[in-house]
Structure 1
Amino acid sequence: MKVVYKITYPNGKIYIGQDVTGTLTYFGSAKAQLIADDFTPEEQMDFTIRKQILWQSPSATAQEVNAKEIEMILEYRSNNPAIGYNIKPKYRP
């Protein structure tokens, strides 16, 4: 199953990503340092994130999954550094 998902971090910021393997435990490739910089060492000691599947398809092409991911990044504005951790596509206010 191919999916586009949303990860929500304890500070409310989000990351939109895709998984074409349907792996439950895959949590994306967000830049770890961007996320770590937002949390104190104490906050990092007890850290819970939430993964939600926003879209899924058993038969979508790679191009369709990529397009859906970008669509969702723009829809949720997760490329806005105040809202999320996606660095592409580049945020334009």
Structure 2
Amino acid sequence: MPVVYKITYPNGKIYIGQDRTDTFNYFGSADSKLIEKDFTADQRRDFTIRKEILWESSTASRAEVAQIELQFIRSMRSNDPLVGYNQWPRYSGASEISPVR
């Protein structure tokens, strides 16, 4: 079942992603090098992340899943480097925030 999820890192930053198979052990494709910059070597030795399912649908098309993911990225500002690790779409400021249906 397709899902849109949110990963929360120990520093409070988030990553929004989609998984069209709802794989329990999938934690997204965020840029590891980008995330590593926010943590010391010692902090990277032992940390906990949280995965939350924000949306799911047994009937959604790939296009709909992608659209919902994009809406969550924008509404939660996970593409704002101060808030999260999504690098697309490029964050252009608060004016891009739109509600999730």
Q: TM-score category by the smaller chain?
A: over 0.9
Q: 1:19 offset after TM fit, Å?
A: 0.1
> What is the percent sequence identity of the aligned residues?
58
**Runs (4+) of structure 1 moved beyond 2 Å?**
none
Aligned positions of 1:10-89 closer than 5 A: 10-89=10-89
TM-score, length of structure 1 as denominator length: 0.99
**Number of paired residues?**
93
Secondary structure in 1 matching 2:82:
coil
What is the alpha-carbon distance in structure 2 between the residues aligned to residue 18 and residue 24 of structure 1? 12
Q: 1:44 offset after TM fit, Å?
A: 0.4
**Any gaps of 5 or more consecutive residues in structure 2?**
94-101
TM-score, length of structure 2 as denominator length: 0.91
String of CA shifts for 1:32-78, please: whole Å, max 9, x gaps: 00001100000001111000000000110000000000000001000
What is the alpha-carbon distance in structure 2 between the residues aligned to residue 58 and residue 26 of structure 1? 18
What is the alpha-carbon distance in structure 2 between the residues aligned to residue 23 and residue 31 of structure 1? 19
RMSD: 0.4
What is the alpha-carbon distance in structure 2 between the residues aligned to residue 38 and residue 16 of structure 1? 18
